[in-house]
Chains A and B, each alone.
Chain A
């Protein structure tokens, strides 16, 4: 049986920010679940890194959190994107696309293309 790959180091933050951007405030489990769903259940979110990451993003000011009630009336801590976080997301998304484009070109390259 093939193991699901863990989320690549450093990209989880981007995924968390994007998830919050698209779906609005979410609690920790919700974020983890959404990330897995969006990846088509191809990724497994390591919970061990999720909560320290959320705290770090909060300390950096990209997200904020408060207690609230979930859809089935459970007490849960909800995380939402701040203005700074939105800006950060845009910048990181841009960087990521650029990087992805570069990598894609490397994959396309053939020996005869090079001068």
Chain B
């Protein structure tokens, strides 16, 4: 209270510039007069009395200063003064100010841009209330080599009753045909337990969502749609709630629309783009089961009880699992080692990108740091020009602390202006920058420049200002007064100490640049190796287009219900596809057969005669294809035969496997003729393993159809006529018109069945480059940062060498006058630059080894200590350094000894 009153009075004095000085002077005069009178009464002579009075009073000036300090706020007063002075200095050297502010704008702008990405993905991955409570619940069977093996219905009920969770929900992703709108389309949907939205804590924009109490045994017909679907399919119909829509020929009712920013916390791009949610009961068909060992391919998500940490929840869960294993030894054999694992739900978003983003952030922070070093160098150069000013001020009694503070104010002003400029650039380029970010980069938040980001920019500016202001400010504090003042008119000559600081800065700059360049080089080599890796299939001149056959709940409305019905449709589709313009070859496959399609479809595999003791079969990627598929993609057969038209719905079931699968399951045997069985995978709702044995008839070469980075993923193919998938891909090879094909295929498909959607037309070349997109993004950005760093480092070394040359002009003149050869002078200057560059490179190589090991997970086909990259980058860096030193060296060589000597 007292403190506040005092503070506000002082603040108002500061603001109004009111001074109590006159009053104090009057008071002091009176004081001395009183004391003089008293002294005279004590018998002193008038002169002596006054002298003693003044002596007793003490230093009047010091009292005035203390009094003034009490009257006002000296800290702010000085700050204002320093700011005014700093602004004058900036305006006086506009060239310097522009370069310094532009460097900072670039550095802070780029750092802030990357930070906004980090903020939206790593720091706030889940845009729901209390995100730390949300967990994914995964069942592992390490004994059977299975992770995330799915959950059985009794286990789900155990989890709900466990007391660990507020909510536990099951979810299954899929897609369904939406008909009845202007054009049939396919919607990504998610079947969820009714408590799903209550668990996430999200309210709909329109209508309502499922109530956790809406539990019905099978499916409810109520669905919630996304804002995107509402706008795109229903034209933002404000009365959508209560209307019905047809999904896979089933009639459903819309009960709610989610808000615009809502995205599903799924694991893949497809899952996050879910547009429709349906409530499933998971307690009747197709999930009717009291069998604990029947694991359904569902995902389980839960919200922990408030205040429960992940560790505490996990240990309670471990207790539950242990007691269940004891209670049901038949369902949980000891060697399967059943465990349940809690994973923070945010891993869905950040799991894949954490390393890339940290790398990007580290890279941009390095660029900012290099920018700071550069500005520090500029400031130092200017400080030497101002060393006389500083010396004079110090001689006149300015405290060193005050000088340092004033210089720091100047650099903070520079960096804050740079930060503001950076933000302005960021705002104006926002649209352009957003387009650079690959769609495959997982995020649930829209990128925005929010308060956290602004605060970060401010903090970065202040940190940068302090970092680059510190060296010159310290330097100013250490001016040798006598020396500086004596050097009349030669104020530009700095001390050797200062030159040493500048050298250290340049070496730092080179070291940092080298680290960045090595990182960029390694990413580039990884990308190149991946790009050049033989695909094993030929994507050229191939397009794939998708369609989807409805899978209604009522078997009577399913016109593709039997293998014969669907096989007939497939044959007709294939026949008409071959007739499209430009098409030379055509094939059909299931959705997972599309090369580099990112939603896999692992199926349970049971090999005849190999009883998996744990009852938990391994999972293998499975696709359905027509016989033409392998020839169309040019994947060669190694052993046995490929499919032929005889492998139809009436013939015994056959399979073709790839080399990797043969290696995995029949290492020392001939896989041909071996028999196996498969369960249905994630896609589709039939959850029971097929009873019929399938015979392996052929082995094909491995191809990178699953993942570009991994060429040997075990895969098996079934004949499409025998397995009848609902999700179809049409493959076309030939001289295709990319613009026309989607339209032509749609017309062709809908001429057979007008209710079928046609979507997802893409060339395989695009699919290949799409799967490189995220890597390319990281590489492009790191490369851009590295190039910027190199430029800044080159400017830095140029500045320092120029400075050294100009400082030694006289020295060079004397040498030349004494007969030194001009070539030798040049070599001498170059040697200095080379020394700095080599020292920087050596330091940088050490740093690079550390950094490259940290980023090992992002590399492909290249070791973190790749000699070629390291050597190449070091040579490039030193070359650039020599180039930057060449100009000042040439200037040194051309020094005219007469001019240089007469200059004194």
Q: Which residues of chain A have a CB within 8 Å of any CB of chain B?
A: 27-30, 32-33, 46-49, 51-52, 55-56, 59-62, 70, 72, 74-77, 88
Per a CB cutoff under 8 Å, which of B6, B56, B62 touches A59?
B6
Report B-chain residues with C-beta under 8 Å of the C-beta of A70: 34
Q: Does B67 contact A (CB under 8 A)?
A: yes
Could you name 18 residue pairs across A and B whose Cβ atoms are closer than 8 Å?
A28-B27, A30-B34, A47-B56, A47-B57, A47-B63, A48-B62, A51-B24, A56-B70, A59-B5, A59-B70, A60-B2, A60-B3, A60-B5, A60-B6, A72-B37, A75-B30, A76-B30, A77-B27
Instruction: Given the known inter-chain contacts A27-B30, A48-B59, A55-B71, please indicate yes or no for A61 contacting B24, CB distance below 8 A.
Output: no
What is the chain A residue whose CB lies nearest that of B6?
A59
Give the residues in chain A near B57, CB-CB below 8 Å: 47
Interchain CB contact under 8 A, B58 and A48: yes
**Residue from A51, A62, A72 within 8 A of B67 (CB atoms):** A51
Known: A48-B62, A55-B67, A59-B9. Contact between A74 and B56, CB under 8 A?
no
Q: Which residues of A contact B38 (CB under 8 A)?
A: 33
User: For B58, what are the chain A residues with a Cβ–Cβ distance below 8 Å?
Assistant: 46-48
Interface SS, A side: helix
Q: Is B645 an interface residue (CB 8 A)?
A: no
Distance of A59 Cα from B18 Cα, bound (Å)? 14
Give every chain B residue within 8 A of A33 (Cβ-Cβ): 34, 38
Are A55's CB and B70's CB within 8 A?
yes
Nearest CB of chain A from residue B34's CB, rounded to whole Å: 4
Listed from nearest, the 3 A-B pairs whose CB atoms lie closest are A29-B34, A52-B70, A59-B6
B23 nearest in chain A by CB position: A77
Interface assignment of B69: CB less than 8 Å from any CB of chain A = yes
With both chains docked as a complex, state the minimum distance between the C-beta of B54 and any C-beta of chain A, in angstroms: 11
Question: Quick check: B34 and A55 within 8 Å, CB to CB?
Answer: no
Cβ-defined contact, A61 with B2, below 8 A: yes
Q: Chain B residues near A30: list those with CB within 8 A.
A: 34
Decide yes or no whether B824 CB sits under 8 A from chain A. Answer: no
Chain A residues with Cβ under 8 A from B26's Cβ? 75, 77
**A-facing mask of B1-41, CB < 8 A → 1, else 0?**
01101100110000000001001101110110111011000
Apart from A48-B58, A76-B30, what 13 extra A-B contacts exist at CB < 8 Å?
Answer: A27-B30, A27-B34, A28-B31, A33-B38, A51-B63, A52-B69, A55-B67, A59-B6, A60-B6, A70-B34, A74-B30, A75-B30, A76-B34
- Do B66 and A52 touch across chains, with their CB atoms under 8 A apart? yes
| A47 lies within 8 A of B31 (CB) | yes
Q: Which residues of A contact B9 (CB under 8 A)?
A: 59
Contact between A51 and B28, CB atoms less than 8 A apart: yes
Residues on B with C-beta less than 8 A from A48 are 58-59, 62-63, 66
Q: In the bound complex, how far is the Cα of B62 from the Cα of A52, in angstroms?
A: 11
Kindly name the residue among B3, B27, B28, B56 whose own CB sees the greatest number of chain A CB atoms within 10 A. Answer: B27
How far is A32 from B242 in the complex, measured between Cα atoms in Å?
89
Chain B residue with the shortest CB-CB distance to A61: B5
Which residues of chain A have C-beta atoms less than 8 A from B23's C-beta?
77
List B residues 37-59 near A (Cβ within 8 Å): 37-38, 56-59
Q: Which residues of B contact A56 (CB under 8 A)?
A: 6, 70
Residues of chain B with a CB closer than 8 A to A28's CB? 27, 30-31
Give A81 Cβ to nearest chain B Cβ, in Å. Answer: 15
Taking the closest CB of chain B, its distance from the CB of A78, in whole angstroms, is 11
A30 to B10, CA, bound (A): 26
Question: Whole-angstrom distance between the alpha carbons of A21 and B682 in the complex?
Answer: 89
B63–A77 touching, CB < 8 Å: no
The minimal Cβ–Cβ distance linking A77 to chain B, given in whole angstroms, is 5
Least Cβ–Cβ distance between B33 and chain A, in angstroms: 7
- Report chain B residues within 8 Å CB of A72: 37
> By the criterion CB–CB under 8 Å, are A29 and B31 in contact?
yes
CB neighbours of B20 from chain A (8 A): 55
Contact across chains for A74 and B33 when beta carbons are under 8 A apart? yes
In the bound assembly, the distance between CA atoms of A75 and B25 in angstroms comes to: 13
B63 to chain A, nearest CB (A): 5
Would you give the shortest CB distance from B691 to chain A, in whole angstroms?
89
CA distance A49 to B62 in the complex (A): 10
Q: Judge whether A51 and B62 touch: CB under 8 Å.
A: no
Smallest CB separation, B5 vs chain A (Å) = 5
Contact of A29 among B3, B6, B30, B62 (CB under 8 A): B30
A67 to B33, CA, bound (A): 16
CA distance A97 to B700 in the complex (A): 99
Residue on A nearest B37 in the bound complex, by CB = A72
Q: Which of B3, B34, B67 has the most CB of A within 10 A?
A: B34
Say whether, besides A55-B20, A56-B6, A60-B2, A49 and B30 are in contact (CB < 8 Å). Answer: no
What's the minimum C-beta distance from B495 to chain A, rounded to whole angstroms?
39
B35 near A29 with CB under 8 A, answer yes
Cα–Cα, bound, A72→B34 (Å): 10
